[in-house]
Amino acid sequence: MKATGVTMSRLRILFFLLLLGGLSTLSGAESGHGPTRAYPEPHGEQLCASGCALSRHPTPPLTRERYRELRRDYLEKGSQEALDELLYFGPQTRLKLETDRDLRPSARLERLQRELKRERVLVSFRLIDSEGVERVKMPPMNVPLDLRHVFEPLQAQGVQPPEASGTVKRVGLGHIWQRI
């Protein structure tokens, strides 16, 4: 499409206004760009739990054999390591449990099912100086596990408001792996 003279003039005005907007963020003023929001951004053909841009690290498949070993070790022996690994596999464990005809009700099974329902966490982030001033801050953001998010804009004092991105993944009963 060929731009007319009037259209080019409007484009120049728009460019100048956008440039002013960009300079205002470079002035060092406190961020006034609105609340921080989280935007999901899965990438790759599979949902990448690591969030790495250059490589894909989805959670490996939970084989039937390994599931049976973990099920036995946790439900029959109460192994904490087995519980951690079942939670690491999260959605895969949930699927296996749904079709497992050999399960018997038990307190351990209830605990596992209860823990598998935890699918969201609050992630907070900050850059804090030696005087305790939070120069950049991301308030607690409610995000699901295993899905990369972009967080913008972060709240900033004296610097251009940055953005952040990352992923969180459960790796045990009380532990979360994070890339940010």
Find out whether 83 and 139 touch, Cβ atoms under 8 Å. Answer: no
Structure tokens at 65: 């054999």
Binding mask of the shown chain, residues 47 to 76, with x at each position contacting another protein by CB under 8 A: ----x-------------------------
Q: Kindly indicate which of the ranges 64-72, 79-87, 96-104, 155-163 contains the residues binding another protein, using the contact rule CB under 8 A.
A: 155-163
- List the interface residues with another protein, window 89-128 (CB under 8 A): 114-115, 117-118, 120-128
Question: Min. distance of Cβ 91 from another protein in angstroms?
Answer: 17
Q: Does 171 interact with another protein (rule: CB under 8 A)?
A: yes
Which amino acid does the sequence have at 175? H
Q: Kindly indicate which of the ranges 70-78, 79-87, 98-106, 170-178 contains the residues binding another protein, using the contact rule CB under 8 A.
A: 170-178
Helix (H) or strand (E) holding 84: helix 80-88
Q: Which long-range contacts (CB under 8 A, 24 or more apart) does 12-16 make?
A: none
Residue among 103 and 171 whose Cβ is closer to another protein: 171
Question: CA distances (Å), 88 to each of 6, 33, 83, 172, in order?
Answer: 59, 37, 9, 6
The dihedral formed by the CA atoms of 100, 81, 146 and 119, expressed in degrees to the nearest 10: 70
Choice from 3, 16, 28, 76 touching another protein (CB under 8 A): 28
What is the SS3 assignment for 92?
helix
Question: Min. distance of Cβ 153 from another protein in angstroms?
Answer: 12
Residue among 4 and 124 whose Cβ is closer to another protein: 124
Spatial strand order in the sheet of 37-40: 37-40, 149-152, 164-170
Q: Does 163 interact with another protein (rule: CB under 8 A)?
A: yes
Site residues (vs another protein, CB under 8 A): 22, 26, 28, 51, 114-115, 117-118, 120-130, 135-136, 140, 142, 158-160, 162-164, 166, 168, 171, 174-180
